[in-house]
Chains A and B, each alone.
Chain A
């Protein structure tokens, strides 16, 4: 193994040290594993939901966004959107939807890799997972703006409804509809995974920093 790779994966824990301070080294591992598990599980849950409230829809209209598809009252919402010239919702984010499942799997694998990396490089491996919820929301807001801004000028209601930017979270208003956008289970799982990674990185540093320092001290001596 080359020296640089050794430096990246960091020092191994001596068996005696592991026996004495088992919990110290177990903590970051457990937290990272949990985070990876949560991220993978989140693929099967909706990330975001938008509910439209209007008098004639007493139960509201809801669309749930999974990482790779939309479910719920998509037909009805598309039907209504044609009045203002908005494109069908399924046309949004084609690239993101096609790579998201694989992407999240890779991000989760990177966290698993971080379990075996005992240097500060672990933080870099965990970074995509850490930022994933933010990336999701920023991308979604981009698409909402893209759809809201690019309305068909020939639509029936294009005179009365001007292009707009639907908010990615909280409340909005369009014609008689009050819209409520909120994170759904999947996104909460991803956020929880981020939190676990943050805490895990803290324990990671507490566990391995002394070993790294010790190794560097030895290296300097040599």
Chain B
């Protein structure tokens, strides 16, 4: 009897073991690390290629083997390519080139897709189709001052627009155009919980970019700071809940939002407090000289929380549909202050603890560090003189903590997790690492510098502008490459240099040729913070509305509907056929065409192009996309899948016949 019970017990154990085993989803484990010391054949390769020990170390630190993933993702603006480039770190491989302001055929962006055309049209200026942009400063969405991996925003300096990109599918979802300014630069910067996305103007114009003689620059031209309200649930900027603050026609430059103790405030640099208006053909000095005359320009200090309240109280003026707080109201309500800063500064960077602001000199070899606490005391102390627009200028010595000489042409500053700051030195072509000294001016010291190749603009450290930077990696975004890469003609790639900052001394460990744009700023986020999808949640998905499309077409529902001279096509795509594969219309018909990729498999994307028409779609698994056009030319036009989807990809086509 005992034996029998034992037998039952053993059988049950066995069963539970089997159940346990089959539930254990085997996950691929990274390959075991190699043994220490390089084998002889590796050394032979190094010798043959002339690699130094530093080269070998750099290679070992950056090589990411097949099938393994990068630890960080860096989002680099594409500059005047108008896009946003996703780069893996430490491999420095380009993973994606997200189309934002400029059409891009591979992503089916801006070539017929009805949703995307409408989104791009929201960025039109006075009816002019703007189909490019100058993307500058990406900003990842934040929660409590730290990247949350949900969204990324980027500005267009060219026409003062801001775009929203959803990091579930890495696609652009919205473009908004500021109704009052036509040039921005200090964008995008988010408040610590992404309630607002800040956008500062750059080149002052009359509001609504209306005409006003340049002789009336001082009276009619204005700067601006716009706070775009962001609705995280909807994943959209809400223009109706956004507002602006009128600023003098100083050229506002980079901004940064306060965090932790300085949450609720936003700070923007400026230059051209000279109010220069050019005229070099008429014998006036060039702008470069005339805007660089004064020893001090102004930091703009803005209490955005109070400003939002002032707008809610109805004290703003509506200009072109946007509530704008006038300078007098801003001064009266205590929203806007100025503080002197040396000579056309560039970077404005709030330290991770939110207590200090680092302003890089550009034309001055110092970084100037301001204390938020001192700024608050100065505001309370009422010891200020007004500028010519009546805005109180705080006393420089009252708000400044330290000035540290870091080198020539300091531009931007990032931070690590050890209390250090890293400032790019454009003229020296170097990065300076220096120690933050808190309230003690003597404690600020330059630690060391590393040369970069060449003309560094921005730089980005791992999560280096958040409340908790990671250290570890820094990228120098160099404007010139000169001799770094195999020649490819007179337009050179940019050189993005990865720098190891884990040790005391910085080491350049990778040169990446950026041949698809000119990055300005970038942000680097731990890759595992982002939850990118593999396929859309449901077949028939509209990526823009993030719900099932009303034009979703499932297998068996394919059809062609005719209504007078309007022809509506409901098509499916699946390996390896398009249904229907024959569409006949009459010349002059208006054609509305919907395609649903009914695939659900990882990477089973189909493309679509129609010969002789300016139409290109990318249909990712589950996606429904639409386009429409007038069949103005009779003829016979094949259409086909453009993404090599399967062995029978070439057979995945159809005929579009337009009968005269």
A: residues with CB less than 8 A from B are 23-24, 27, 30-31, 34, 38, 58, 73, 75-76, 79-80, 83, 156, 184-185, 188-189, 192, 195-196, 199, 203
- Chain A residue contacts of B4, Cβ below 8 A: 27, 199, 203
Distance, CA A126 to CA B18, complexed state (A): 24
The proximity string for B residues 297-313 relative to A, scoring 1 for CB distances below 8 Å and 0 otherwise, is 00000000000000000
B11 on interface, CB distance cutoff 8 Å: yes
Distance, CA A184 to CA B576, complexed state (A): 33
Question: Which 8 A-B residue pairings sit nearest by Cβ, starting from the closest?
Answer: A76-B601, A192-B15, A23-B1, A188-B18, A75-B600, A185-B19, A185-B22, A156-B648
Which residue of chain A has the shortest Cβ distance to B603 in the bound complex? A56
Distance from B619 Cβ to chain A, minimum over Cβ atoms (Å): 15
Distance, CA A106 to CA B651, complexed state (A): 52
- Chain A residue contacts of B447, Cβ below 8 A: none
Would you list which residues of chain B between 1 and 39 have a CB under 8 Å from chain A?
1, 4-5, 7-8, 11-12, 14-15, 18-19, 22-23, 28
Distance, CA A30 to CA B576, complexed state (A): 56
- Chain A residue contacts of B599, Cβ below 8 A: 76, 79
- Which has the most chain A C-beta neighbours within 10 Å: B8, B12, B14, B648? B8
Interface size on B, residues (CB 8 A): 24
B575 on interface, CB distance cutoff 8 Å: yes
The proximity string for B residues 585-609 relative to A, scoring 1 for CB distances below 8 Å and 0 otherwise, is 0000000000000011100100000
From A27, A75, A192, contact of B1 by CB (8 A): A27
Distance from A81 Cβ to chain B, minimum over Cβ atoms (Å): 11
- Chain B residue contacts of A24, Cβ below 8 A: 1
B574 on interface, CB distance cutoff 8 Å: yes
Q: Is the CB of A156 within 8 A of B576?
A: yes
- Chain B residue contacts of A192, Cβ below 8 A: 11-12, 14-15
Q: Is the CB of A189 within 8 A of B22?
A: no
List 5 additional contacts besides A75-B601, A80-B575, A203-B4; criterion CB under 8 Å: A38-B15, A76-B599, A188-B19, A192-B14, A192-B15
Distance, CA A85 to CA B648, complexed state (A): 14
Distance from A9 Cβ to chain B, minimum over Cβ atoms (Å): 24
Q: Is the CB of B15 within 8 A of A79?
A: no
The proximity string for B residues 555-593 relative to A, scoring 1 for CB distances below 8 Å and 0 otherwise, is 000000000000000000011100000000000000000
The answer to whether A199 and B600 touch (CB under 8 A), given A23-B1, A79-B574, A188-B18, is no
Q: Is the CB of A185 within 8 A of B18?
A: yes
Q: Is the CB of A189 within 8 A of B15?
A: yes
Which residue of chain B has the shortest Cβ distance to A188 in the bound complex? B18
Distance, CA A30 to CA B4, complexed state (A): 11
By DSSP majority rule, is chain A's interface helix, strand, loop, or mixed? helix
Q: Is the CB of B8 within 8 A of A31?
A: yes
Distance, CA A156 to CA B23, complexed state (A): 37
- Chain A residue contacts of B574, Cβ below 8 A: 79
The answer to whether A76 and B600 touch (CB under 8 A), given A27-B1, A83-B648, A188-B15, is yes
- Chain B residue contacts of A199, Cβ below 8 A: 4, 7-8
Could you list some 6 contacts between A and B, CB below 8 A? A24-B1, A83-B576, A156-B576, A196-B8, A196-B11, A199-B7
- Chain A residue contacts of B600, Cβ below 8 A: 75-76
- Chain A residue contacts of B651, Cβ below 8 A: 156
- Chain B residue contacts of A38, Cβ below 8 A: 15
The answer to whether A79 and B1 touch (CB under 8 A), given A196-B11, A199-B7, is no
Which residue of chain A has the shortest Cβ distance to B14 in the bound complex? A192
- Chain B residue contacts of A73, Cβ below 8 A: 601
Which residue of chain B has the shortest Cβ distance to A75 in the bound complex? B600
The answer to whether A195 and B601 touch (CB under 8 A), given A23-B1, A184-B22, A203-B4, is no
- Chain A residue contacts of B14, Cβ below 8 A: 192
Distance from B124 Cβ to chain A, minimum over Cβ atoms (Å): 41
Distance from B395 Cβ to chain A, minimum over Cβ atoms (Å): 64
Distance, CA A79 to CA B600, complexed state (A): 10
- Chain B residue contacts of A27, Cβ below 8 A: 1, 4-5
From B8, B18, B22, B28, contact of A34 by CB (8 A): B8
Distance, CA A34 to CA B601, complexed state (A): 41
Distance, CA A189 to CA B7, complexed state (A): 16
- Chain B residue contacts of A203, Cβ below 8 A: 4
Which residue of chain A has the shortest Cβ distance to B4 in the bound complex? A27
- Chain B residue contacts of A156, Cβ below 8 A: 576, 648, 651
- Chain B residue contacts of A188, Cβ below 8 A: 15, 18-19
Distance from A21 Cβ to chain B, minimum over Cβ atoms (Å): 9
Distance, CA A39 to CA B15, complexed state (A): 13
Distance, CA A199 to CA B22, complexed state (A): 26
- Chain A residue contacts of B648, Cβ below 8 A: 83, 156
The proximity string for B residues 531-574 relative to A, scoring 1 for CB distances below 8 Å and 0 otherwise, is 00000000000000000000000000000000000000000001
Q: Is the CB of B601 within 8 A of A79?
A: yes
From B5, B11, B22, B575, contact of A79 by CB (8 A): B575
Distance, CA A204 to CA B574, complexed state (A): 59
- Which has the most chain B C-beta neighbours within 10 Å: A38, A79, A80, A192? A79
Distance from B555 Cβ to chain A, minimum over Cβ atoms (Å): 10
Distance from B8 Cβ to chain A, minimum over Cβ atoms (Å): 7
Which residue of chain B has the shortest Cβ distance to A77 in the bound complex? B601
Which residue of chain B has the shortest Cβ distance to A175 in the bound complex? B647
- Chain B residue contacts of A80, Cβ below 8 A: 575
Which residue of chain B has the shortest Cβ distance to A184 in the bound complex? B22
Would you list which residues of chain B between 613 and 660 have a CB under 8 Å from chain A?
648, 651
Distance, CA A30 to CA B5, complexed state (A): 10
Distance, CA A23 to CA B1, complexed state (A): 7
- Chain A residue contacts of B12, Cβ below 8 A: 34, 192
Distance, CA A31 to CA B4, complexed state (A): 10
Which residue of chain A has the shortest Cβ distance to B28 in the bound complex? A58
Distance, CA A188 to CA B17, complexed state (A): 11
Distance, CA A23 to CA B5, complexed state (A): 10
The proximity string for B residues 30-68 relative to A, scoring 1 for CB distances below 8 Å and 0 otherwise, is 000000000000000000000000000000000000010
- Chain B residue contacts of A34, Cβ below 8 A: 8, 12
Distance, CA A189 to CA B14, complexed state (A): 10
- Chain A residue contacts of B19, Cβ below 8 A: 185, 188
Distance, CA A105 to CA B604, complexed state (A): 41
Which residue of chain A has the shortest Cβ distance to B7 in the bound complex? A199
Which residue of chain A has the shortest Cβ distance to B25 in the bound complex? A59
- Which has the most chain A C-beta neighbours within 10 Å: B15, B19, B28? B15
- Which has the most chain A C-beta neighbours within 10 Å: B4, B12, B599? B4
- Which has the most chain B C-beta neighbours within 10 Å: A24, A73, A75, A184? A75
